[in-house]
Amino acid sequence: MNADQLSVGTPATLPGQDPTPGLRIRALMLGDCINAAGLEIGTLVSSTPVAFRVHAGLAVIFRYGIVVLIGLLPSEEKALIDILKPRVVGEFSPYEEETVQAQLCNDETSETIQPGGPICIAKFSDDRLLLIADAIAKSTALTRDERRVAAVFDVIEPFARELAQRGRTPRRRKGILQLIGNVLLVQQGVAGRVAVAEKPDVLWEKPGLDRLYSRLEDEYELQERLDTLERKLKAISETGNALTDIIDTQRSLRLEVAVVVLILIEVVIGCVQILTGTH
């Protein structure tokens, strides 16, 4: 991995400070997956995640559908997205997006993240920028999953309310199974593809940057959001399973009643035939 510094910047200042070089860092979730195999859009900086030096900036591509664009002009970003589109599986419309500013601070000891403000780092080195890209990419993925889970909650809440108020379950078993399927897809994305809880590979080579990444985790509340998301997913899954179990039980009961009724009808017919034959 290359630790060269980027020599690109746009003005970014804090109140009361002198202007310092700054970088715009923009994360875009283009779809479910981006296939970066064989992609050549610049000088390769990292293979995990795949990162290229493009023009005077960086493009970091994550397999779970996110590209992080660092220090690129809007026209350069658009051109790069157009190149990536054919490699996107399950393209989203609109894209999920998150943007932050990074600026230089005095030294490593003063590396801080202002609440809702810029990320201050000692230098615009590739390893630091890859850490920021990892954190903002995970935050963007969590934002989409949080939105999807909230939408599932909006659908499943009326089912639970009807059961609580009227003691009746919805008849649309297929709809409930679809909700459970959506939950499974989100669980797969969080646990399998995005791996929010895992540390980025750059920390294995640069363990001294662990403090910076911990600050990024705290700023974007990655672990807390992951825990909340998993609790919601578990609640939805349990609710969906309970509703389907109740519906299945009711269907089995109706089937048993139908069988008993058929048996009684057959017995009655048999009795009638016997009595008719006797007379």
**pLDDT tens figures, 195-250:** 777 888 888 888 889 988 998 999 899 989 988 888 887 877 777 777 677 666 76
pLDDT for 192 equals: 54
Asked, for residue 277, whether it belongs to a domain, the answer is no
CB 169 within 8 A of CB 159: yes
Asked if residue 247 and residue 150 are part of one domain, the reply reads yes
Asked if residue 56 and residue 93 are part of one domain, the reply reads yes
Q: What is the pTM of this model?
A: 0.74
CATH number of the CATH domain containing 73: 3.30.310
Asked, for residue 242, whether it belongs to a domain, the answer is yes
Asked if residue 164 and residue 116 are part of one domain, the reply reads no
Asked if residue 89 and residue 33 are part of one domain, the reply reads yes
Asked if residue 85 and residue 51 are part of one domain, the reply reads yes
The CA distances from residue 259 to 53, 66, 265, 271, in Å, are 72, 56, 10, 18
Asked if residue 199 and residue 164 are part of one domain, the reply reads yes
Asked if residue 207 and residue 117 are part of one domain, the reply reads no
The two three-digit tokens of residue 9, written as one number: 């910047």
Asked, for residue 33, whether it belongs to a domain, the answer is yes
pLDDT for 230 equals: 82
CA distance 27 to 156: 31
Radius of gyration of the chain (CA): 28
Average pLDDT over residues 247-268: 79
Asked if residue 148 and residue 114 are part of one domain, the reply reads no
pLDDT digits (tens, 9 = 90+) for 24-39: 999 999 998 999 999 9
The total of structural domains in the chain comes to 2
pLDDT digits (tens, 9 = 90+) for 129-141: 999 999 999 999 9
Asked if residue 162 and residue 104 are part of one domain, the reply reads no
Spatial CA neighbour of 144 closest among 74, 199, 97, 177: 97
Report the percent of the chain where pLDDT is more than 90: 32
Range of the domain at 181: 143-259
Mark out the alpha helices in the chain (DSSP H runs): 74-84, 126-166, 173-188, 202-205, 210-220, 222-278
Domain boundary among 71, 93, 122: 122
- Residue 10 pLDDT greater than 50, yes or no: no
Asked, for residue 272, whether it belongs to a domain, the answer is no
